[in-house]
Amino acid sequence: MGSILQIMEPKSPSMTEPVRSLLSLPASCQVALRRFLLPFLILIISFPDTFSQRYFQQEVNYNIEVSLDDERHMLIAYETIWYINNSPDSLRILYFHLWPNAYSNNNTPLARQLFQLQGKQKLFNDPQLRGYIDSLDFKINAQPVQWELLPDKPDICKIILNQPLFTGDSILITTPFRVKIPKGVTSRLGHVGQSYQITQWFPKPAVYDETGWHPISYLDQGEFYSEYGRFDVSITLPANYVVGATGELQTPGEQKWLEQLATRTVCKDETIYDEDDFPASSEQTKKLRFTAGNAHDFAWFADKRFHVRKGEVKLPHSGREVTTRVMFTGVQAKLWENALSYVNDAICRFSEWIGDYPYQSYTAVQSALSAGAGMEYPGITVVGIQDDAYSLEEVLAHEIAHNWFYAALGSNERRFPFMDEGLTSAYTARYMDERHPNKKLWEVYVKNRKLAKLLNIEKMPVQRIGELQWLMQARDNLEQPLDLPATCYTDLNYGVMLYDKAAIGFNYLRAYLGDSLFDASIQNYYHQWKFRHPQPKDLRNAFESHTEKELTWFFNGLLSTTKQLDYKMVRLKGQHLLVKNKGELPAPLVLQGVGRDSLHFEKWVDGFEGERWVEIPGGDYSEIVIDPNHITPELYRLNNNIRKSGAFPKANPVVPNFLFSVEDPGKHTINYIPAINWTRENKFMIGVALHNGFLLPKAFEYFAMPFYAFGNNHLAGYGKIYYNITPYDKFIRKATISLEGKQFGAPGNQNYQKAEAGLELFFRNRNINSPFTQMVFGNYITASNLSQIVSGQKAEYSSFIQMGYRLQKAGMVNPLKLVASYESGSSFKKTALDLNYKLSYYGTAGLEFRLYAGVMLKKDPEVPFYALSASGRSGREHYLYRGTYPDRFAIFPNTFWSRQMTLSEGGLVTPVNNRMGYSNHLISLSLTSSLPEKAGWIPVKPFINILLNDHGLSEGPDSPFFFEGGLKTGLWNLFEVYVPLVVSRNIQTINGSFKDRIRFIFSLDLFNPVKLKSR
Ligand SMILES: [Zn+2]
């Protein structure tokens, strides 16, 4: 997706340009311009500030009369807009948002985004999911005007004004409109039964600011940018609906009724909360009027089942009283019992920190929401179903904080989402941290203490969740800068960067500046930009003018690059500590002297590159630690501590841990899992699986499984170590070097062995949002000669080289993988192309294609299985010893395990290799499909394999054309049984018996914790 569309109006000459360019103008022009220039210069002198910023903002005042038809789920409305042009430009057109049209067909920007992110294809073919706005008839100052929808963007229209709208002038725009409300499962606007979420619903002018027009299509990932003004909205609907809306309720009868409901809710018996059906709508209707000032949006929520609670907050600075309400249904009544106090406390605390809450009232409503945990609108919030009280409080705090950074500070959220979500998330974290300083992560995210213990996270504070999520992306070098437009983020990074990392970043800045300086800066920003459109530079100015600190590291480093932070202890000499910045970001670091359970000093040091000696205070501490409280986004923490004494002051203890662990700074954890195993030659084995953690990628990773085998009294097992290099901003995103070893028993009372060295280079995507990724790989393998083993000889070693290129398109919809490879041994050489493609039906269901073409560049006449194999290789044919084969050397079909195979070159399933399978050339096509429609969940997939090779060119049984079709079933990628039902005649002559065509794959790769992670 491209960046934000900015359509520039032909503007009147810019105010700065005439001054600069006047000297170069021809004389006649100078005379003509002099008339303008003189008053202009006076203007510059008298308003230097206004002039240098050129800041202006349009004013848009709304009057909307709307009625709800709750049988047809329609809104019938009439809108009057008073638009005031405060810009220095004459406007000839206006852009209007018609956002309900985002749901109108499968080619809207919303539909295209949902298709890309969630694979939701042909979404709006379902009439229930479809929504639209129609019956529009725009008039300006009562005169009809020409208007048109933008091509491919039916949710934006352009109105061509009959006369230009001059600077300082205003117009009255009117239109009737009708909205079909979609079923509320797609995005923010919708209804669930007769529960209504009326958001992004009315025709609304796009923002016109100093950079021009900002018409933006409605999207799920990506928020909004709107003009400020007054709203006067009258809602007519059946009398028994409870309505929560932006602004102040101006209808006395309704105020009274809400009071009554609120008292009733407080006294109400619990049982009443159980009833959850919709009561019939009243015959009578009522008309409710809401007004709001200094607002840039208006949302309302209506439900006949809402319970209401009402309270009041006195704001700390002005003493002004704010009315607060919560509205919720019986489904979550128990949870919402304390919601009002969460709301009141959060409004109070945020007001203290940032400045008083901007409006007169605040309402939180609970609803079945389809756009995240909650969604913010001015003075009102909608919150979806929550799991527990902590989560509810957190979501409420987050949405309330939006009243400052979204509602009052009207930044362009689509272009700079961090200005809203980032600051909001930072304040949410600060608030929750203050409210629940001792909450543990497992209590909220794991919920089971025993499991938390097993995972070694019992003591981890809940605040660590954001850091963990961020580290997963950061360590894999998949971060994106924080100042990008919303549409430029991957689905995952939209959350990880804008919420998690931005929150860490702003709270890091706060820790560095200290609360009072940080709060003063933000208060300065809030008061200066309240009800206006601040830009990132205005946020920066607010900090820099207030703190006199050099904050380039934050605004030009942490915010706008993916430079990483990794400080490392080098040496300690008395009171001098040598610290090295292994990362690229010269950001401040915090040092602490830690003794037995007590803190001796804390010192902030301004950021630097390379190494630096730091003076540290003396004292009775035993260890110095960089950022022990996880304030800074440190990439690796195992190098963050140094002890005052001892032979190895930087060494961390090695601690064994059962099962799994999430990284624990300050110690090397070796995780162990007792394991048993069996192969035909080794018999019963006992051993242990060892690894250094899961979840978080690490520079150095290992997985080893040594066994003692009772059958041959030998050692057996498997091990692999990885070293990952993730350079900053380079052509290569990640380089992985690996070493692998394997030994298991083989016939003839010997062991087979294999050692493999690998290199994988993952390229950086220039456009990270592109689903395509590229990598190259190379492997050097030395392994026991399999043909010697199967012919009963003592095996020597053979060596192989592999290299290749992989192009992959990941994602839910139509994923694709293309691998070009080359392999050689001492006696053969081969090359191949392997294309896998899935045509998605819906969700994960689809038709899988595999196209394979291979050529032997050199063939070994002695060892057939080095050539291209037509069908899946059994263990006896797998000269590289890939996979886990309990009975690797079994002869088909003597034992159960002899039916095990690995899908290989040709993709056939029926075992034909020995008789006519190996070839010099091979081309094949495999098709596998999920069962259609609702049967898609049944774990059976039909398949068809077609293959042509050069083995025998005669007609009849030796035909080079192979065909098989059948069914496969099982646990995908772990254990899959293939049953070929129909086969071509040549296969039939070799494998006449249907039973002898059934084979299976069994892969334990799934359980390798290192491989579990996305790569
Ligand atoms: Zn938010």
Residue 29 CA to ligand 1 center (angstroms) comes to: 52
Q: What is the pLDDT of residue 14?
A: 34
Q: What is the pLDDT of residue 36?
A: 41
Residue 397 CA to ligand 1 center (angstroms) comes to: 10
Written as one letter, the residue type at 329 is T
Greatest Cα pair distance in the chain: 105
| Best-predicted range by mean pLDDT (58-72, 110-124, 617-631, 896-910) | 58-72
Residue 400 CA to ligand 1 center (angstroms) comes to: 9
Q: Which two tokens stand for residue 586?
A: 């010269």
Q: What is the pLDDT of residue 420?
A: 97
Residue 306 CA to ligand 1 center (angstroms) comes to: 24
Q: What is the pLDDT of residue 955?
A: 53
Beta strands 961-971 and 999-1002, pairing class: unpaired
Beta strands 285-295 and 229-238, pairing class: antiparallel
Helix (H, G, I), strand (E, B) or coil at 666: coil
Residue 425 CA to ligand 1 center (angstroms) comes to: 7
The residue ranking higher by pLDDT, 245 or 547, is 245
Confidence check: pLDDT of 83 > 90: yes
- The region, left, alpha or beta by phi > 0 then psi within -120 to 50, assigned to residue 659 is left
Helix (H, G, I), strand (E, B) or coil at 335: helix
Residue 108 CA to ligand 1 center (angstroms) comes to: 24
Summary mean pLDDT of the chain: 89
- Which residues share a beta bridge with 847? 839, 929
| Best-predicted range by mean pLDDT (45-49, 703-707, 1011-1015) | 703-707
Instruction: Tell me which of 14-18, 126-130, 533-537 is least confident.
Output: 14-18
Of the pLDDT bands very low, low, confident and very high (cuts 50, 70, 90), residue 29 is: very low
Q: What is the pLDDT of residue 370?
A: 62
Report the alpha-carbon distance of residue 420 to residue 411 in Å, rounded: 7
Q: What is the pLDDT of residue 599?
A: 84
Scanning the structure block, which residue is given the tokens 């020409």?
146
Confidence check: pLDDT of 649 > 60: yes
Residue 551 CA to ligand 1 center (angstroms) comes to: 25
Task: Give per-residue pLDDT as tens, 500-527.
Answer: 999 999 999 999 999 999 999 999 999 9
Of the pLDDT bands very low, low, confident and very high (cuts 50, 70, 90), residue 1 is: very low
Task: Give per-residue pLDDT as tens, 563-612.
Answer: 999 999 999 999 999 999 999 999 999 999 998 778 889 999 999 999 99
The residue ranking higher by pLDDT, 694 or 300, is 300
Residue 391 CA to ligand 1 center (angstroms) comes to: 14
Confidence check: pLDDT of 393 > 90: yes
Residue 635 CA to ligand 1 center (angstroms) comes to: 25
Q: How many Cβ atoms from other residues are within 10 Å of residue 648's Cβ? A: 7
Q: Which two tokens stand for residue 747?
A: 């016939």
Q: What is the pLDDT of residue 596?
A: 79
Residue 420 CA to ligand 1 center (angstroms) comes to: 7
Stretch (H or E) spanning 359 = none
Scanning the structure block, which residue is given the tokens 């009052």?
408
What values do phi and psi take at 58, rounded to 5? -75, 160
Report the alpha-carbon distance of residue 466 to residue 334 in Å, rounded: 28
Residue 384's nearest CA partner among 222, 182, 185, 240 is 185
Q: Is the dihedral of CA 351, 353, 355, 358 positive or negative?
A: negative
Confidence check: pLDDT of 166 > 70: yes
Q: What is the pLDDT of residue 694?
A: 73
Of the pLDDT bands very low, low, confident and very high (cuts 50, 70, 90), residue 1005 is: low
- Which residues share a beta bridge with 263? none
**Considering the chain, what percentage of its residues have pLDDT values greater than 70?**
91
What values do phi and psi take at 448, rounded to 5? -115, 115
Q: What is the pLDDT of residue 917?
A: 79
Residues whose CB is under 5 A from ligand 1 (ion)? 421
Q: What is the pLDDT of residue 268?
A: 53
Report the alpha-carbon distance of residue 246 to residue 299 in Å, rounded: 6
Confidence check: pLDDT of 26 > 60: no
Residue 374 CA to ligand 1 center (angstroms) comes to: 7
Stretch (H or E) spanning 433 = helix 423-435
Residue 208 CA to ligand 1 center (angstroms) comes to: 24
CA angle centred on 200, ends 194 and 206, rounded to 5°: 165
The residue ranking higher by pLDDT, 541 or 652, is 541
Residue 12 CA to ligand 1 center (angstroms) comes to: 38
Q: How many Cα atoms within 13 Å fall on the side-chain side of residue 172? A: 5
Report the alpha-carbon distance of residue 132 to residue 152 in Å, rounded: 15
Residue 337 CA to ligand 1 center (angstroms) comes to: 23
Q: What is the pLDDT of residue 332?
A: 86
Residue 433 CA to ligand 1 center (angstroms) comes to: 17
* Over residues 955-984, mean pLDDT: 87
Q: What is the pLDDT of residue 246?
A: 98
Assess contact for 148 and 157: CB atoms under 8 A: yes
> What is the rounded (10 degree) CA torsion for 31, 35, 38, 43?
-140
Residue 944 CA to ligand 1 center (angstroms) comes to: 48
Report the alpha-carbon distance of residue 887 to residue 978 in Å, rounded: 19
Helix (H, G, I), strand (E, B) or coil at 514: coil
> Any idea how long the chain is?
1015
Q: What is the pLDDT of residue 439?
A: 96
* Over residues 952-964, mean pLDDT: 72
Q: How many Cβ atoms from other residues are within 10 Å of residue 127's Cβ? A: 9
Of the pLDDT bands very low, low, confident and very high (cuts 50, 70, 90), residue 813 is: confident
The answer to whether the bond into 893 is cis (omega within 30° of 0) is: yes
Instruction: Tell me which of 268-277, 618-627, 873-882, 974-983 is least confident.
Output: 268-277
Task: Give per-residue pLDDT as tens, 456-470.
Answer: 889 999 999 999 999
What values do phi and psi take at 142, rounded to 5? 70, 0
The residue ranking higher by pLDDT, 268 or 755, is 755
The residue ranking higher by pLDDT, 562 or 14, is 562
* Over residues 47-64, mean pLDDT: 76
Q: What is the pLDDT of residue 547?
A: 84
Q: What is the pLDDT of residue 1007?
A: 57
Assess contact for 994 and 983: CB atoms under 8 A: no
CA angle centred on 76, ends 74 and 79, rounded to 5°: 135
Residue 653 CA to ligand 1 center (angstroms) comes to: 41
Residue 395 CA to ligand 1 center (angstroms) comes to: 9
* Over residues 329-346, mean pLDDT: 92
Residue 378 CA to ligand 1 center (angstroms) comes to: 13
Confidence check: pLDDT of 25 > 50: no
The residue ranking higher by pLDDT, 239 or 841, is 239
Residue 376 CA to ligand 1 center (angstroms) comes to: 7
**Considering the chain, what percentage of its residues have pLDDT values greater than 90?**
75
Report the alpha-carbon distance of residue 871 to residue 904 in Å, rounded: 6
Residue 214 CA to ligand 1 center (angstroms) comes to: 21
Q: What is the pLDDT of residue 957?
A: 57
* Over residues 228-233, mean pLDDT: 98
Confidence check: pLDDT of 11 > 70: no
Residue 424 CA to ligand 1 center (angstroms) comes to: 6
Residue 382 CA to ligand 1 center (angstroms) comes to: 11
Of the pLDDT bands very low, low, confident and very high (cuts 50, 70, 90), residue 33 is: very low
Helix (H, G, I), strand (E, B) or coil at 823: strand
Of the pLDDT bands very low, low, confident and very high (cuts 50, 70, 90), residue 991 is: confident
